[in-house]
Amino acid sequence: MTATSLETEARSSGMRRFVRRVLFSEYLVLWLSVLYFLAVLPFVPQMASVEVLRNILSDMLPLLVVAIGQTFVLIVAGIDLSVTSIIAMASVVGASVMTGDGGYLAGSPLAVPAAMLAMVTVGLAIGAFNGFCITRLGMPPFIVTLTTMMFFSGAAIWFTTFHTTTSSIANLPHGFVVLGQGNIGGVPNSLWVVLAVGILAHIVLARTVLGRRLYACGQNRRAAAVSGVPVRKVIAAAFLISGACAAVASILYTGRLQTGTPILGQTILLDIIGAVVIGGTSLFGGKGKVVWTVFGVLFLVLIDTSLKMLGLSLFSVFAIKGAVILLAAVIDAVRTRFAARI
Amino acid sequence: MALLECENLRKSFFGVEVLHGVSFSLDRGRVLGLVGENGSGKSTTMNILGGVLPRDGGRIRLEGAEFDPRGPKDALAGGIAFIHQELNLFENLSIEENLFITGFPRLGGALPFINRGRMRRRARELLEQVDIRHPPGTPVGSLSQGERQLVEIAKALSVDAKVIIFDEPTTSLTRREADRLFGIIERLRRRGIAMIYISHVLADVTRICDDITVLRDGAVVGGGPAAQMPTERMISLMVGRTLDQLFPERTCTPTATPVLEVRGVSQPGVVHEIDLTLHAGEVLGIAGLMGAGRSELARILFGLDSFHGGTIAVDGTVIEKPSPRTCMEHGMAFLTEDRRGEGLMMHATITDNIALASLDEYASPWARFIERTRLGDEVGRIGQKVRLRAADPVAALARSLSGGNQQKVVLAKWLLRNPKVFILDEPTRGIDVGAKFEIYKIIDTLVAGGAGVLMISSEMEELMGLCDRILVMNHGEIQAEYSRGEFDSGRILEAAMKRKTSAAAPGAIAEKVA
Amino acid sequence: MNTVRLRLALLRNAPVALFVVVLAVFGSLSDRFLDVQNFTNILIQASHIAILGIGMTFVLLTAGIDLSVGAVMYLSVALLGIYLADASPILAVPAMMAVGALFGLVNAFFVVRLRVAAFIVTLATLFIGRGLALWVTETRMVFYKDQILSLARAEFLGVPWAIWVFAIVFAVAWIVLNHTPFGRQVYAVGENPDAAAKAGINVPLVLTTVYAVSGACAGIAGFVSITQVGAAASSFAMEKEFAAVAASVLGGVSLFGGRGGVAGTVFGAVLIQTVQNGLVIVNADPYIYPLVTSSIIFVAVFVDSQRSRILERLGRRRIRIEERPV
Amino acid sequence: MKLTRRQFTLATLMAAGTAGLPVYVKAQGKKTIAVLFDGLYSPFWVAGLDVIKQDLTKRGYEMVQAISDKDDNRQFEQVRAMLARKVDGIIIVQTDSNAVIPAIKAANDARVPMVHFNRPPAKTDAFSVAVVADNRSITNATVEHMVKVAKEKGGKYKAAILIGNLGDPNAIGRRDGFFDVVDKNKDIIDVVARIPTEWNADVAFAGLTNAFQANPDINFLFTSSDFLFPQIVQVLKTRNKFQPIGHKDHIIFGGFDGDAMAYELLKDKYLDADGVQDLFKEAELAVNAIVDLQEGKTVERVLLDPGFAIHQANLEQARDRMWGYSIYKQKNG
């Protein structure tokens, strides 16, 4: 071996070390997001403006809440397809409680808290039903939540017809709207909510008994049962959490649109699951983190925002979104293979 | 000329040589026993022979010709069949489909359709050779472990294998099934098939092998005809020193205080009127054939399966609604026979595995936070206590550990709870000699500390070497009881096999149902 | 024991029983429902989902998933309408199958060679496929010529053309899965890919093939669908991937691989379509369609899960035979 | 460092991915108008987007577009993205009339004019201009003509309606417009089939087939969108019911939109009446409004496209106002 080749070797090994560190860090998706951001910046310089960054943040929030719920379910090797219908159902139920146009509690000072309570109850109830069917009746999560999705998507539309002649329930009380737009200490209320949910979810997963049990159920359900983990309760809890998170997302969505609409969120199912999985959570259970989901959602929202800003035709929007997701996944797969070799 | 000759085989992983030139040869109609501790290079050698791993050096000659398998299929085509410890069978397919999965007989010889008639006929022939009486269309999922092993052998026969490698074939077999396997091996030997037999059960190796080769640290350290290789010699070669004993000296004697009292436990079709008492400081063995109801009884006692009549009491308190949780709360612990399926989270760290059963004890009162420092300290302490050996005793993944260390992790998981009653179902299955000894020592420490151990094992020597008392189960009932002084393998076996079983085989039931 | 057996016997035939109940309910509500012509309608209407589901079954059997099938349907149909408008069906169908298979091979490249999770790959190619189709059609509705449209009314031996295609695809898939070495290897790979590789099965080849099959089936499904609906708008075959997976899972195919078969998938697709059909026939309120359909799917899966639970309990090892039957 | 095949593959993919990003260079000095549509599911919307684009280009504007795919939240995000991009005006087809209001307010705050194309927003104090086609009244006129034809022919009628996506306000408007009229004529018209299509061609096809199975004597048919014509024709042909006016098996047939196929069917005397939204007029009104607002002129808040029902009696006179006719003319020389 000659001296020069030794030198190149040394330099390339330094390079390699760096590449390796980036590739194997659990922040890979974050790095990819940054890379993507820099890549599109020449095309849409406005991406770097405060306004757009603020938009990206606020667009992330509701999606992030549902995605966090989904993370819990994926960790126990389940899947929750019903989240979109929970968003829709909670939206119209909440609106029907508080709308000024003949809501159940129209005009009452209790309307807003009662409506929000009703929304969370919808989420919990549907989540509980999913959990019950899966743990007590032994039905597969995919099909249970598929049927609840179909059922409540339809039910939300039907429910709306009892409250309005239009396709959505408007005239939500001022108090609710302000809640969505207001801020505490310069930080928007919705951000506070999502921060709270996110930190809570992170703590539950990383620090509490429930968190350990969720991972255990996803890793090896039988071993968990033998070790005294109340497997059924734990799995049911994951679906409850997912339902509640979807309901919170519904509050945020309904607040920003100031309307209870039965088609809310109907098209974002693949975005939700996609964001979680891109973040690194496994569809086969036992693996997942809240921060990963944050990065996954950031990545997707970043792509979406850039495509919106570019104002491209529909086909390029589809094609680019698909290509970027694929690229991210390929990079992830390649790095796991490198990891296996080193 | 030998049928198979291996010369100077070498293999390295990540630049570390693990096989330093292994040589041996094998003749037609001979059985070569290959023994050595875990990590001695047995599996690597056999994986090279079976085409699973490429070799880095050395040569292999099969029937005098150079043999260089590029993959399992290649090796098989050359006549070397490898029966792995974890069987390569597909539970969702039938026996016959498993036999021919890579070489289905085709209609007209070349059409892309399976010739079902021909497949069935050939499957019947093959199954007859290995004494399986199930119809070839039976799903493999409904066969017992022993029967599956025999299906694997039939599979090897189907390709006219010249050499069959057995890797720990008896770990999940009962004595009777193992005897049946040995009968088949004998038959194959007479047909001129050469076999390599890897096992930790040295008594079996002595019994069925013609020659024995001992490996240690990736090199052959000794070998010769079986007659010249008594067990003591094998062990001293394997471990590199002489072992004075196979079982540790028991350091305590049973007390009169009962810790577990089982009265009249019955479950129709499974167990009948089980009465047993386990005392503090006692190791109580349960012997019996596979299918005698031992594991089923263990699962019932730990609340995993339901039962219809009777009571289970720990320390005099009857467990009201037995479930793993309530049983644990009463101070029970259960080590299952299925380490991978039920004992461990293979992709989780050692710490997570050990902590799993004790999370409640390390949770803060209200928010149920895990007290991670305290838990970490305790896990470390327990890990040392069971002499856990791993690259990283905290963060290594369970699947990266050897069988013995995996079992220690499972034990550590229960030790962390300080239970009073241990139910151990086949605790030394698939574990090498050194690790076995360590597990025996742990068991001794447990009872010395005042706990009671209920131990199920298919290895008679183990029960007799370790237990204070042995119960023999047969047909879901306790057939006999022997105290330490009265141990006699003949009598125990007699009790275990008394009364011909008239129960239907599980396969038969499944058939009726389907 | 006897009662368990009885319940099991009931449950074993439960899918059929459920089907009969559905038929009886709709039949009693409308005398037009139980009519040969109507069953023909149901089969025709179920055909494209069933064909899609048959392809999906291959993928699901290997524990994968193909979310891109709806996009492939649209893409192949778009290419047909734009570039092969005058081609005869004899040429068009193989061409569309080829387009689908090619797309499947792209999926397979990422899943098999680069080991990316099938869910993500096909999610991404779903977007890419729809994007390509929109590009080809310039987002416009594509119309088809009469030689294709008249197939909707064409019959052979008194049986509509679509049903023939359906039957042929089903028969071929059934034979392939049950009576060819490849089919059995698909099951083996789905049950345990590592063991399959050790046994000498060419696992990458099997996986690649199933994605190609799924794509090809999507091509056929696109063709069958277009002969009926006559034109393809930009929403063509939107979210059909869910319908296909639902039909398979309803028919007993496991998402974790190795279990189920195409017969179940066809049953699932036909059951769903029967319900949809019955609702129109009895002129039900449109708002309750999704409610009724989802409830019936739910009941079907519920019954199936109860059956496997009882089977599992019965499968518990018997060690002794009790003197008296309990 | 040797380039392995895998690294090569990876690099190629990366390059392909980057090249996929179309080069976007903003033309300097040109004003930009954002056009945000709800979807491009039927020829009406595709043509609408084209017409607006041509019109804007002709006047020296640049157009950027975004499609919300029936997701009102995504549409809200699109509006905000366009505002952040500092576009000079927004033409929007909102997914939901109530849910669009926050978007209008955001546009107001950013002082970017907003014009609603084809659908009005709900009542609000936020300012925007709406070009409105009244789905309900156009449908009224169309169905009234169909009823007139029916009365002239005499006898009783069994009616079927293909309903759009129940979550879509346009679909609801057209459905209500249909029932306004038929409910007044219950003596001769009995609605035997309400077929939900979810704006989905194969659902429509299956639904109509099944409706004819249940009631082979359906003889009065209305579709909530012309883009379902191909499916309807397929079903009618199978049943031998695709017959011109005057034939004994002719079904009184009406549609909504006014696309090219509608014109062909009218011309060939298969279709009795079609509700036409005046696409060109709507597009022109919208573009005019946005330009005027840009220049600070005052514009009426509601610009009405009265639309009209085209039928056999007024086909010759009215067809020039039918957008589908000009597309038809283009296609057929």
Q: What pLDDT is attached to residue B511?
A: 34
Count Cβ–Cβ pairs < 8 Å, chain B vs chain C.
110
Q: Considering CB atoms only, which of B302, B345, B369 is closest to A223?
A: B345
Between positions 136 and 155 of A, the ones with CB within 8 A of C are 137-140, 142-144, 146-151, 153-155
Q: Which of A325, A334, A337, A341 to mutate to test the interface with C (most CBs of C within 10 A)?
A: A325
- Chain centre distance of CA D175: 14
Tell me if C4 is assigned to some domain: no
Q: Is A82 on the interface with C (CB under 8 A)?
A: no
pLDDT band at D34 (very low <50, low <70, confident <90, very high): very high
Q: In what order do the strands lie in the sheet with D157-163?
A: D189-196, D157-163, D220-223, D252-257, D273-276, D308-311
The H-or-E segment that residue B20 falls in is strand B16-26
Q: What pLDDT is attached to residue B508?
A: 34
B370 with A207: Cβ contact below 8 A: yes
Cβ(A147)–Cβ(C296) below 8 Å: no
Q: Is C110 on the interface with A (CB under 8 A)?
A: yes
Query: For the whole model, what pTM was predicted?
Result: 0.84
Distances (CA, A) of B401 to A199, A218, B347, D56: 35, 21, 11, 70
pLDDT by residue, tens only, chain B of 514 residues: 688 888 888 888 767 778 888 888 888 889 999 888 766 788 888 888 888 888 888 888 888 888 888 887 788 888 888 888 777 888 889 999 998 888 888 887 778 888 889 899 999 988 888 888 888 988 888 787 778 888 888 888 888 888 999 888 877 677 777 888 888 899 889 988 999 998 877 888 888 899 999 988 888 888 888 888 888 788 788 777 665 667 888 888 899 899 999 999 998 888 889 999 999 999 999 988 767 888 889 999 999 988 888 899 999 899 988 999 999 999 999 999 888 888 899 889 999 999 999 988 888 888 888 888 898 899 999 988 888 888 888 888 888 888 888 999 999 999 999 999 999 998 987 787 778 888 999 999 999 999 999 999 877 788 888 999 999 998 888 989 999 888 887 788 778 776 544 343 333 333 333 3
Measure C126 CA to nearest chain B CA, in Å: 31
pLDDT band at D70 (very low <50, low <70, confident <90, very high): confident
D196 with C32: Cβ contact below 8 A: no
Q: What pLDDT is attached to residue A8?
A: 56
Count Cβ–Cβ pairs < 8 Å, chain C vs chain D.
109
Report the relative pairing of strands B258-267 and B271-279 from DSSP bridges. Answer: antiparallel
Measure A214 CA to nearest chain B CA, in Å: 11
CA C85 to CA C145: how far, in whole Å? 7
Burial class (CB in 10 A: 0-12, 13-18, 19+), B320: exposed
CA A63 to CA A297: how far, in whole Å? 7
Interface present between A and B (3 or more CB pairs within 8 Å): yes
How is domain B4-239 classified at the CATH fold level?
Rossmann fold (3.40.50)
Q: Is D85 on the interface with A (CB under 8 A)?
A: yes
Tell me if C49 is assigned to some domain: yes
CA C123 to CA A275: how far, in whole Å? 11
The values of phi and psi at residue B94, to 5°, are -80, 170
B272 with C320: Cβ contact below 8 A: yes
A308 with D99: Cβ contact below 8 A: no
Measure D41 CA to nearest chain C CA, in Å: 5
Give the ipTM of the model, two decimals please: 0.82
Tell me if C7 is assigned to some domain: no
CA B265 to CA B254: how far, in whole Å? 24
Q: Considering CB atoms only, which of D40, D214, D216 is closest to C234?
A: D40
D242-271: b (≥16 Cβ within 10 Å) or e:
bbebeeeebbbbbbbbbbbbbbbbbeeebb
The H helix count followed by the E strand count for chain A is 14, 2
CA A33 to CA A300: how far, in whole Å? 9
Q: Which of A150, A152, A162, A336 to mutate to test the interface with C (most CBs of C within 10 A)?
A: A150
Q: What CATH number should be reported for the domain holding residue C145?
A: 1.10.3470
- Which range marks the domain in which residue C243 is found? 13-311
Within 8 A of C242 by CB-CB distance, chain A residues are 146
Written out in words, the top-level CATH class of the domain with range D136-276 is alpha beta
pLDDT by residue, tens only, chain A of 342 residues: 444 555 555 566 676 677 666 666 778 888 889 989 999 888 888 888 888 898 899 899 999 999 999 999 999 999 999 999 999 999 999 999 998 888 888 888 888 999 999 999 999 999 999 999 999 998 889 889 999 999 999 999 999 988 887 778 988 888 888 877 778 887 888 899 999 999 999 999 999 999 999 999 999 999 999 999 999 999 999 999 999 999 999 999 999 899 999 989 888 888 898 899 888 888 778 889 999 999 999 999 999 899 888 888 878 888 888 888 888 788 777 777 766 554
One fold for both D31-134+278-306 and D136-276? yes
Q: In what order do the strands lie in the sheet with B469-474?
A: B332-335, B421-425, B452-456, B283-288, B469-474, B477-483
Q: What pLDDT is attached to residue A100?
A: 83
Looking at chain C, which runs of residues are DSSP E strands?
142-143, 155-156, 159-160, 231-232
The values of phi and psi at residue B153, to 5°, are -65, -40
Measure D54 CA to nearest chain C CA, in Å: 15
Sequence-ordered alpha helix ranges (H) in B231-287: 231-239
Across D23-35, average pLDDT: 66
C319 with B503: Cβ contact below 8 A: yes
Cβ(D116)–Cβ(D142) below 8 Å: no
Q: Which region holds residue D296: left if phi is over 0, alpha if psi is between -120 and 50, else beta?
A: left
pLDDT at D21 over 50: no
Nearest CA in chain C to A156: C287
Nearest CA in chain B to A203: B369
The residues near A134 (Cβ < 8 Å, ≥ 6 apart) are: A78, A140, A141, A144, A235, A236, A239
Measure A48 CA to nearest chain D CA, in Å: 10
Q: Considering CB atoms only, which of A253, A265, A309 is closest to D85?
A: A309
User: Which subunits count as partners of chain B given 3+ CB pairs below 8 Å?
Assistant: A, C
Q: What pLDDT is attached to residue C318?
A: 58
Across D235-254, average pLDDT: 91
CA C133 to CA C118: how far, in whole Å? 21
How is domain D31-134+278-306 classified at the CATH fold level?
Rossmann fold (3.40.50)
B270 with C317: Cβ contact below 8 A: yes
Structure tokens at B322: 């037995």
pLDDT at D19 over 50: no
CA C252 to CA C272: how far, in whole Å? 14
Q: Is C161 on the interface with D (CB under 8 A)?
A: no
pLDDT by residue, tens only, chain C of 326 residues: 467 677 767 777 777 888 888 899 998 988 888 888 888 989 999 999 999 999 999 999 998 999 999 999 999 999 998 888 888 888 899 999 999 999 999 999 999 988 888 888 998 999 999 999 988 888 888 888 888 888 877 888 888 989 999 999 999 999 999 999 999 999 999 988 888 888 888 899 999 999 999 999 999 999 999 988 888 888 888 888 888 998 998 888 888 788 889 999 999 999 999 998 898 888 888 888 889 989 988 888 888 788 777 777 766 555 565 544 33
Structure tokens at A320: 């680019």
Q: What pLDDT is attached to residue C322?
A: 54
- The correct answer on CATH 3.40.50.300 for the domain covering B245-331+419-514 is yes
Q: What pLDDT is attached to residue C199?
A: 80
Q: Is D192 on the interface with C (CB under 8 A)?
A: yes
Within 8 A of D214 by CB-CB distance, chain C residues are 30, 32-33, 280-283
Nearest CA in chain D to C278: D210
User: Which subunits count as partners of chain D given 3+ CB pairs below 8 Å?
Assistant: A, C
Q: In what order do the strands lie in the sheet with B258-267?
A: B271-279, B258-267, B309-314, B317-318
A167 with D80: Cβ contact below 8 A: no
Q: Where in chain B is the domain with CATH 3.40.50.300?
A: 4-239, 245-331+419-514
Q: Where are the domains of chain D?
A: 31-134+278-306, 136-276
A333 with C116: Cβ contact below 8 A: yes
Across D312-329, average pLDDT: 90
Q: Which of C110, C116, C248, C295 to mutate to test the interface with A (most CBs of A within 10 A)?
A: C116
Q: Is D75 on the interface with A (CB under 8 A)?
A: no
Give the closest residue to B315 by CA, choosing from B303, B301, B332.
B332
Looking at chain A, which runs of residues are DSSP E strands?
183-184, 187-188
- Chain centre distance of CA A339: 28
pLDDT at D324 over 50: yes
CA C44 to CA C56: how far, in whole Å? 19
Tell me if C211 is assigned to some domain: yes
Q: DSSP for D291-311, please give it.
A: HHHHTT----SEEEE--EEEE
CA A123 to CA A103: how far, in whole Å? 20
The values of phi and psi at residue B84, to 5°, are -75, 160
Tell me if C6 is assigned to some domain: no
C199 with B88: Cβ contact below 8 A: yes
The H-or-E segment that residue B479 falls in is strand B477-483
